[in-house]
Chain A
């Protein structure tokens, strides 16, 4: 069995699965149940000035008969008195000294406010702090959460204030509601962040009721934008994690969050540079026991890969993530249909015919049996047919032997510049 323990900026936990700051970590009762169930760490529901929550808070997007493809909420930070939370944090840490217990914090962007809360929660014995600059609703109207998280200078300054008082590692939690997340990430690092965590939820409206014309959810007939999370946001989160991981100016450990619902998702985030992961929606959908499946799957995967420690995964795929300009323009794949597996639904044909490059022919064999054939010379290797194909292994995207040496867009531009040729002209001729 591999070693699952991690250290994220010095915060250690028996495994990389932490509960994200959200309803599952609202109370000591819950966090202790979660640790008993096997979670390696927890980020406490965000602490600050207690707020009032609305009734009717969550909504979900169900897709194709599967429940909770995405999850939407208009909940704010903790609505319990700080004192109560601190007392429970203290108790929890005492019972579970080896688990990572991190306090999520959100206060007004004032130096003394940060100093005060940092001291109080550290006094309760937390292993680290997470600054919540991400909550996209409610708190933003008060100049907190995403409102400050969208302003790089405010991120930097507040991180600095927290760091001034902190003796434990400071993680800055970033909002995805921004054009380039590496900008805020860099500012967090400039402010002294020991790590970053991402993503918080994405601005969203789950839906509109077709009969009442109310928003989903609505509070007495009125709605407001909420934050989106769950499986649907995973690709967005994964990209943001990867962008931060490959930015040398960020360069601090990353806690990956967003749509993680299985061990496989966790592995992907770690390969893309996360040192550990946080989970909210999957726990809300299935309960804490879902971590058993995650831990078992991760364990067996590491054994199968012959890895002694989960940390060996961190960042392995980052060097393979680059800019479009560095991709080989001469690399070619084409679709190949395996007739023995194909069930003749013709979905690949119509997808290619109507919406790609018209290169899958519907033919009839000598025995009168219909079959599909890809004209490989015309196939641009877009993958669409293999994406819509309902049968495992019916369409294979086959790599063709290189017809020309590797040439990237950037190399090509450099070569053209060197030749002194007008690149626009060349392109026109080629096109």
Chain B
């Protein structure tokens, strides 16, 4: 089992891409944990999509039981170490903390990181598999949703196989969220925790090509579709094929796998979009040595879907924002390399769209060119309609139709969880909600196949220490 190596940041990562937020020291964690009121029926718990028992884990830190704290976190959230770093805590747990208004809210995210870091560096295996139930489950995708479902199913005693198209497990936690916010060793540890329960990870296996959907359904009693979304879809702009045009997700993926593109050094970069992905692409570009980074967005800051703190962070990184600007085409030179982004100005036209947001129309004769050596698309992710078709489940543009409580699709053996369910236009999908959906799908499958007593299949906690093997 792969739990014996101590996990820490990869030393080959360039310093600009190392995790920015420092860990809490032991004494800082002690002080902060002692500040928590241990509220009853605490609002912070209710604000956490995975309902982590926050006062409990914080009390455990305060009373020298950091291992118990890590258990409480990871029990409720199989990707609790990643969430400690990437959750929009201001909008979730910390935003709900009762201390807001009278004092600083408790730094829940950082305490969560303190506890899960401890479990990782101590080499703890926090969970044990359930007694074998003789039932097999296949999970498509190893991102937060898939990992979460797999971990829970293994604790219920299922034999679980996870199929991951990429060469590395972890989904966007491993490939899509910039390493200076989420270093790859964190999802790697979460994957290890699941692997140690006997879950088999088949990386480099794409359902629909390496293995057909039909074969998958033959192999397993139940299937969890947790394939997320794809890369950024083409915008249909002239010049998209030029050299220097990038997809934000592929760009981040390259930096996370250590393939730092050199073309950004000293470059002028235009990023199209204004969600969190755009911010990540922009701050990534800054760290790759870009000279000037501009986010081009057809609406205004008010409509932007990036979180306020992400917006702040990008501004501090020197990223410029060009609002009310619609890209029209990408201009290239004779060698086929990008030289600029032609845009047109927009203005509010008084109408509002079906989502309640203001609508904008072009200002006549306002076309202009943004000089650029690189253009990055960060305009959402593609839906995986072909996969849904192959699985034979009903869907709308690749979004499966499901029971919202369980993720049950039109095929009684297939459940869906995570970004694959993310509706268009409804803000950003998150790691934490993907984890919760994975948990729910697993619980629904277990309830169906094991009966109402399914919870009792979870083995008692058996904290094992791998320290001896270090």
Q: B-contacting residues of A (Cβ < 8 Å)? A: 1, 66, 262-264, 286-287, 289-290, 292-293, 296-297, 299-301, 303-304, 391-392
Residue numbers in B under 8 Å from A296 (CB-CB) = 60, 65, 68, 71-72
Q: Write 10 A-B pairs (CB below 8 A) sorted by A numbering.
A: A1-B460, A264-B64, A286-B38, A289-B56, A296-B60, A296-B68, A297-B63, A297-B68, A300-B68, A392-B25
How far is A263 from B65 in the complex, measured between Cα atoms in Å? 9
Indicate which residue in A1, A263, A293, A297 contacts B461 across the interface (CB closer than 8 Å). Answer: A1
Residue numbers in B under 8 Å from A66 (CB-CB) = 34
- Judge whether B56 and A293 touch: CB under 8 Å: yes
Nearest residue (CB) in A for B460 is A1
How far is A286 from B465 in the complex, measured between Cα atoms in Å? 31
Q: B376 to chain A: closest CB distance in Å?
A: 43
- Judge whether B64 and A297 touch: CB under 8 Å: yes
Is B462 part of the binding interface, using a Cβ–Cβ cutoff of 8 Å? yes
Contact (A293, B65) CB under 8 Å given A1-B460, A300-B463, A392-B27: yes
- Judge whether B462 and A293 touch: CB under 8 Å: no
Q: B227 to chain A: closest CB distance in Å?
A: 36
Nearest residue (CB) in B for A261 is B63
Question: Contact residue range for chain B?
Answer: 20 to 34
- Judge whether A262 and B63 touch: CB under 8 Å: yes
- Judge whether B56 and A292 touch: CB under 8 Å: yes
- Judge whether B40 and A300 touch: CB under 8 Å: no
How far is A38 from B168 in the complex, measured between Cα atoms in Å? 42
- Judge whether B27 and A293 touch: CB under 8 Å: no
| Residues of B270-298 whose CB lies within 8 A of A | none
How far is A292 from B56 in the complex, measured between Cα atoms in Å? 8
Q: B55 to chain A: closest CB distance in Å?
A: 9
Q: B164 to chain A: closest CB distance in Å?
A: 33
- Judge whether B460 and A297 touch: CB under 8 Å: no
- Judge whether A293 and B463 touch: CB under 8 Å: no
Is B259 part of the binding interface, using a Cβ–Cβ cutoff of 8 Å? no
Residue numbers in A under 8 Å from B465 (CB-CB) = 304
Residue numbers in B under 8 Å from A292 (CB-CB) = 56
- Judge whether A297 and B60 touch: CB under 8 Å: yes
Nearest residue (CB) in B for A67 is B37
Residue numbers in B under 8 Å from A301 (CB-CB) = 65
* Chain A, interface SS category: helix
Indicate which residue in B26, B63, B67 contacts A293 across the interface (CB closer than 8 Å). Answer: B63
Residue numbers in A under 8 Å from B38 (CB-CB) = 286, 290
| Residues of B46-103 whose CB lies within 8 A of A | 56, 59-60, 63-65, 67-68, 71-72
- Judge whether B65 and A303 touch: CB under 8 Å: no
How far is A296 from B65 in the complex, measured between Cα atoms in Å? 8
Of the listed residues A263, A286, A292, A293, the one surrounded by the most CB atoms of chain B closer than 10 A to its CB is A293
Contact (A264, B63) CB under 8 Å given A1-B460, A1-B461: yes
Q: B126 to chain A: closest CB distance in Å?
A: 11
Indicate which residue in B27, B60, B64 contacts A391 across the interface (CB closer than 8 Å). Answer: B27
Interface string of B34-46 (1 = CB under 8 A from A): 1000101000000
Interface string of B434-470 (1 = CB under 8 A from A): 0000000000000000000000000011110100000
Nearest residue (CB) in A for B59 is A293
How far is A303 from B63 in the complex, measured between Cα atoms in Å? 17
Q: Given known contacts A290-B38, A297-B65, A300-B68, what 9 new A-B pairs fall within 8 Å (CB)?
A: A263-B63, A296-B60, A297-B64, A300-B463, A301-B65, A303-B463, A304-B67, A304-B465, A392-B27
Q: A342 to chain B: closest CB distance in Å?
A: 14
Q: B131 to chain A: closest CB distance in Å?
A: 16
Residue numbers in B under 8 Å from A1 (CB-CB) = 460-462
Residue numbers in A under 8 Å from B27 (CB-CB) = 391-392
Nearest residue (CB) in A for B64 is A264
- Judge whether A300 and B67 touch: CB under 8 Å: yes
How far is A391 from B30 in the complex, measured between Cα atoms in Å? 12
Q: A234 to chain B: closest CB distance in Å?
A: 14
- Judge whether A293 and B68 touch: CB under 8 Å: yes
Nearest residue (CB) in A for B60 is A293
Nearest residue (CB) in A for B34 is A66
Residue numbers in B under 8 Å from A293 (CB-CB) = 56, 59-60, 63, 65, 68
Contact (A300, B460) CB under 8 Å given A293-B59, A391-B27: no
Q: B46 to chain A: closest CB distance in Å?
A: 16
| Residues of B3-27 whose CB lies within 8 A of A | 25-27
- Judge whether B60 and A287 touch: CB under 8 Å: no
Q: A160 to chain B: closest CB distance in Å?
A: 41
How far is A336 from B462 in the complex, measured between Cα atoms in Å? 40
Residue numbers in B under 8 Å from A289 (CB-CB) = 40, 56
Residue numbers in A under 8 Å from B462 (CB-CB) = 1
Residue numbers in B under 8 Å from A392 (CB-CB) = 25-27
Residue numbers in B under 8 Å from A287 (CB-CB) = 40
Of the listed residues B25, B56, B68, the one surrounded by the most CB atoms of chain A closer than 10 A to its CB is B68
How far is A1 from B463 in the complex, measured between Cα atoms in Å? 8
Chain A to chain B: the 6 pairs with minimum beta-carbon distance, closest first: A297-B65, A262-B63, A296-B68, A293-B59, A392-B27, A300-B67
Residue numbers in B under 8 Å from A304 (CB-CB) = 67, 465
Residue numbers in A under 8 Å from B64 (CB-CB) = 262, 264, 297
Nearest residue (CB) in A for B72 is A296
Residue numbers in A under 8 Å from B60 (CB-CB) = 293, 296-297
- Judge whether A300 and B65 touch: CB under 8 Å: yes
Q: A73 to chain B: closest CB distance in Å?
A: 22
How far is A297 from B71 in the complex, measured between Cα atoms in Å? 11
How far is A292 from B75 in the complex, measured between Cα atoms in Å? 15
Q: A121 to chain B: closest CB distance in Å?
A: 32
Q: B127 to chain A: closest CB distance in Å?
A: 13
Q: A345 to chain B: closest CB distance in Å?
A: 13
How far is A391 from B27 in the complex, measured between Cα atoms in Å? 8
Residue numbers in B under 8 Å from A299 (CB-CB) = 461
